[in-house]
Amino acid sequence: MSLEILEKTDHNLKFIVEGISIEMANAIRRIIISEMPVMAVDEVIILKNDSPLYDEIIAHRLSMIPLTTDLNVYKLPRDCECGGYGCPLCQVSLTCEVTNTSNHPMEIYSGDLNSNDPQIIPVNPNIPLVKIDKNDKVIIEAYAVLGLAKDHVKYQAISNILYRFYPQIDFDNSKCTKCPDKCIVSRMCPEKLYDFSNKKSPILIEDYWKTCTLCNSCENDCPEKAIKVGWKEKTYIFSIESDGVLPFDVIIKKTFEVFLEKIDEFIEKLEEVEIES
Ligand SMILES: [Zn+2]
């Protein structure tokens, strides 16, 4: 198995994986979507709420705020020695006390939450929470824990993940000399992957695989049947979009940890089963 990073920013990761089966590629996708432990608010105590929003709406909005997560310190409540009751190893408290002393309405943002752990804070401080009028007050105590997205979507580590086959196009432009149509393919390809600027013979651009969606329109449209669209065996291009709760290297490392745990669990369960011969 080999992995090549194509693009990496704080919120986007694109890489090529070679040498794995489609089942394995899908297992990676599914683990990243639903089995990655992530911090989110799970319990809210509203001590004062003068805002026009109901307590329940504020609690819901708090739970959907992406929080930076530290997997080296925190454990899932069910795996914690406290038995999930709530202790410094499985719970973070976030408090918010705001009084509007100005003469106009004011907005409370995610950045107004004070965390007892500086590593666990809202990813973005500018997420609006609620608006309050002059002299109004809001006092909130919220508790964040680690959780999995298969239990609730607020624990999702990524916003989007997809993989696609690595496109491989065989293009024989020697067949283009007899073509009466002035390269319909270069006009029809939705990704504009064929360069016909020389007006004689179309050229398939070098990095076509980066944007080709395997729509097959070139193969279907070419009157000379000069194009064959296929894909590279056991090679996939992954794209991941994250809101920044976990760095990508932690996500990838944790994915394989979870994968190996699942294999061990499967073997254990298999050994328990008595198979009649
Ligand atoms: Zn605990």
- pLDDT at position 174 is 82
- Give the list of residues 6+ apart from residue 203 with CB closer than 8 angstroms, or none: 173, 194, 195, 196
Among candidates 28, 8, 37, 17, which has minimal Cα distance to 252?
A: 28
- pLDDT at position 163 is 94
Domain of residue 183, residue span: 2-34+160-239
Does 49 share its domain with 140? yes
Does 108 share its domain with 190? no
Q: What is the CA(238)–ligand 1 centre distance, in A?
A: 35
Does 146 share its domain with 192? no
Q: What is the CA(72)–ligand 1 centre distance, in A?
A: 14
CATH number for the domain harbouring residue 214: 3.30.1360.10
Does 52 share its domain with 143? yes
Does 91 share its domain with 42? yes
- pLDDT at position 45 is 97
- pLDDT at position 179 is 78
Q: What is the CA(125)–ligand 1 centre distance, in A?
A: 27
Q: What is the CA(91)–ligand 1 centre distance, in A?
A: 7
What is the block-wise mean pLDDT of the chain (277 residues), using blocks of 10 residues? 89 93 94 95 96 95 96 93 92 96 95 95 96 95 96 94 93 80 84 84 87 89 87 94 93 94 93 79
- pLDDT at position 24 is 92
Q: Answer yes or no: is 264 within a domain.
A: no
Domains identified in the chain, total number: 2
Does 46 share its domain with 133? yes
Beta carbons of 246 and 236 less than 8 angstroms apart: no
Among candidates 263, 256, 255, which has minimal Cα distance to 32?
A: 255
- pLDDT at position 277 is 65
Give me the phi and psi of 143, to 5 degrees please.
-120, 125
Does 204 share its domain with 67? no
Q: Answer yes or no: is 250 within a domain.
A: no
| Whole-model pTM over 0.85 | no
CATH number for the domain harbouring residue 47: 2.170.120.12
Q: Answer yes or no: is 254 within a domain.
A: no
- Give the list of residues 6+ apart from residue 151 with CB closer than 8 angstroms, or none: none
Taking the C-alpha atoms of residue 37 and residue 10, their distance in angstroms, rounded to an integer, is 19
